[in-house]
Amino acid sequence: MGSWRVPSAVLGCLLLLCPLPSPACPDACRCSSSEADCREHALLEVPQSLSANTSALRLGYNFIVVLGPHSFPALPALLLLSLSHNLLVLIHSQALRGLGALQELDLSHNYLTALTPETFQPLASLAKLNLSSNRLKVLEPGVLRVLPQLRALFLQDNPWVCSCDILPLWCWLSQNREKVQEKNLLLCSVPVQLNEYPIMAFRNESFRQCQDMSLSTQQYMVFSAIGPFSFVASIIFCTLMGSITVVCHNLRREPHFWRRPHICRGC
């Protein structure tokens, strides 16, 4: 028994002296605790060898263009994701799957032109979303409605088109003013007469024409049916009037049989 004590003691000392293996950290990142800083490394895609316990991932100032359906490894503990100052033009509807714990997402200073509700649907815990300085002209309110915990939204520095198409977004913004950050910087770009006009300064009267022009589905169906019905009715009417005209013309040329023949009594 005594002969085994020395090796056991030596082994215990070695275990104390040798550090435990650190969580995975990509070569292009600087990792500390549960954060991964991968900024300014000319990355074209999201690094895959990230630790599963990563809570903050910073990918700003890179050259990422597209986030595909499998862009991120499994990161169930991720709370902050920054992709600002990249070249993003497209985010796949499945790109953010598996990031359900995410609370803050920064997509500012990119080239995004369109977003869908499916893209943000997995982010039920998201509280802060930064979409500023992109190429957004319109934004479907459904994109924001799928974020029940949203508390702070940044939309400034986008080329917003202030036509009737922006009415649904304006309604959402008006009902959630406390969530909209930098309200005074949320400006129209088109049309020219509304350039630099604050979107939040609009009122219901500003969209009166759009509301008057809006039609329900049933109204659209009625108006769609009027065209073909009018065409068929006009053909029937013209045919009927033509037939009546021909009959009247023929009657004028035929002898009047209902008249009694004139009898010459002097014969």
With respect to residue 82, please indicate whether it lies within any of the assigned structural domains: yes
With respect to residue 87, please indicate whether it lies within any of the assigned structural domains: yes
With respect to residue 6, please indicate whether it lies within any of the assigned structural domains: no
158 vs 109: CA distance, rounded Å: 10
With respect to residue 260, please indicate whether it lies within any of the assigned structural domains: no
With respect to residue 78, please indicate whether it lies within any of the assigned structural domains: yes
Q: Which helix (H) or strand (E) holds 37?
A: strand 35-37
Q: Look at the chain and report how many structural domains it folds into.
A: 1
pTM of the model: 0.72
- What are the angstrom distances between the C-alpha of 213 and each of 45, 207, 208, 216, 217? 46, 10, 9, 10, 13
Q: Domain limits at 35?
A: 30-215
Each residue's pLDDT tens digit in the chain (267 positions)?
444 454 555 444 444 444 444 457 999 999 998 999 999 999 999 999 999 999 999 999 999 999 999 899 999 999 999 999 999 999 999 999 999 999 999 999 999 999 999 999 999 999 999 999 999 999 999 999 999 999 999 999 999 999 999 999 999 999 999 999 999 999 999 999 999 999 999 999 888 888 655 445 555 455 456 656 666 777 787 678 777 877 776 766 665 544 555 544 543
- What are the angstrom distances between the C-alpha of 180 and each of 129, 165, 173, 175? 10, 19, 7, 10
With respect to residue 134, please indicate whether it lies within any of the assigned structural domains: yes
Which CATH number is 131's domain given? 3.80.10.10
With respect to residue 156, please indicate whether it lies within any of the assigned structural domains: yes
147 vs 127: CA distance, rounded Å: 8
With respect to residue 160, please indicate whether it lies within any of the assigned structural domains: yes
Tell how strand 56-58 and strand 35-37 pair up: parallel
